Structure 1
Amino acid sequence: MANEFQVVGTHIGGMQSALLEIRVWKFEEPETALMVSLGAPFGKSLEMQKSFWEYIRSYMNNGPYFDEHGNHSESDAFVQSQLAVKPNMSGWFRDTLAGIKKTRAENGGRKYLGGTDVVMVVGTLLLNPCFRIQELTYSVAKRRSRNLWPKVVTDRLKADGPTSRLVDLESHQKLAE
């Protein structure tokens, strides 16, 4: 479901915004449902939300491997190239120091440190504990959530994809009972 609305305030005037939400039901418990917001916290236009939904739909229809146009691909080269871009937040301090050392070597040691370098070193040094805590929290949450899904669901997460839908499995189980 995609909804567009206008937020009005005394200081901001009128601002267009849009929501993208999906309703999901718990496997084998249709009375338990959730509304999950899928939209990104930025680009809250209806066009952006529609584009994001098309990306998700393409992934669901074409499987985990697709090219830059959203078409099915037998190779995961494009997906791997996108995953390689993921920044390592706790590594920013180390990367900043490496960049300063490289600049120092290029300039022969004279006047190599700029104002931006100082701000980056201080900023990344101060934020480094937050980044470490964030990565630790993420890794613990990922480890804990691994075994919470039923086997019929985890089997569907493999690269070759599912052969049937969960809805069909549920309906066959209800007919068998």
Structure 2
Amino acid sequence: PDNALLVSLGLPMGKTLQMQKGFWEWLRAYMDNGPWFDENGQRSESDVFVREMLSAHMKPTDFLPWRKQVIAEKKSASEGRNYLEWTDLVLYLGHLLFYPMNWLQEFTYNIAKRRSRNRWPQIVTERLQPDGPMTRLLDLERERGLDV
């Protein structure tokens, strides 16, 4: 629920058949099993595995502060010696150069995420609530005869 994922299920231009099938399978598994799964992809009541995987994810704007931290750690461990390598300089300058673009990307993503939530049908939004119904959308479609 903390992250949104944009999966383009539209026209297949630029996507292989395997990629399209993978998107649909991911979406089907998510709707059937819910957001929590274990390392084998099976439904789980615990979000431990998912939280562990998400903890490794860094936003693009986090790279610059992280690189500063790495350089500061090298400085404190060097005890007065030359601690910078050429890769430190190149990576720091690269992160600095791309920081405005990364910030703009995150800003645009956050706005798009906020706007898209208002367009979801009520049947979906009520299931996003922590105390919302647990009925699968597929079961509701079958009840209403929409799966034909």
Question: Normalising by the residue count of structure 2, what TM-score does the alignment of the two structures yield?
Answer: 0.74
Q: Superposition pairs for residues 23-38 of structure 1, below 5 Å?
A: 35=10
Measure, in 2, the Cα distance between the counterparts of 1:52 and 1:164.
18
**Larger strand share, 1 or 2:** 1
Secondary structure of 1:148's partner? Answer: coil
Q: How does 1:9-28 map to 2 (within 5 A)?
A: none
C-alpha separation between the residues in 1 aligned to 2:127 and 2:35? Answer: 11
CA RMSD of aligned residues (A): 2.9
Shift of 1:52: 6.0
Distance 2:50 2:83 in 1: 38
The 3-state SS of whatever aligns with 2:73 is: helix
If you compute each CA radius of gyration, which structure gives the higher value, 1 or 2?
1
> 5+ unaligned residues in a row in structure 1: which ranges?
1-20, 23-34, 173-177
Deviation by residue 1:25-44 (Cα, 9 ceiling, x = unmatched): xxxxxxxxxx355x9x7xx6
> Matched residue pairs, number?
135
| Other-structure match for 2:142 | 168
Distance change (3 Å), C-alpha of 1:143 and 1:45: closer
Higher relative contact order (CA 8 A, sep 6+): 2
TM-score (norm 1): 0.63
| Secondary structure of residue in 2 paired with 1:68 | coil
Identical positions, percent: 40
- Offset at 1:53? 5.3
Q: Equivalent of 2:43, from 72, 94, 105?
A: 72
Q: Distance in 2 between matches of 1:148 and 1:52?
A: 21
Query: 2:60 maps to what in 1?
Result: 89
For structure 2, the 5+ residue unaligned runs are 1-7
Matched to 2:96, the amino acid is: L
Moved over 2 A (4+): 48-61, 156-172
**Structure ranking higher in helix proportion:** 2
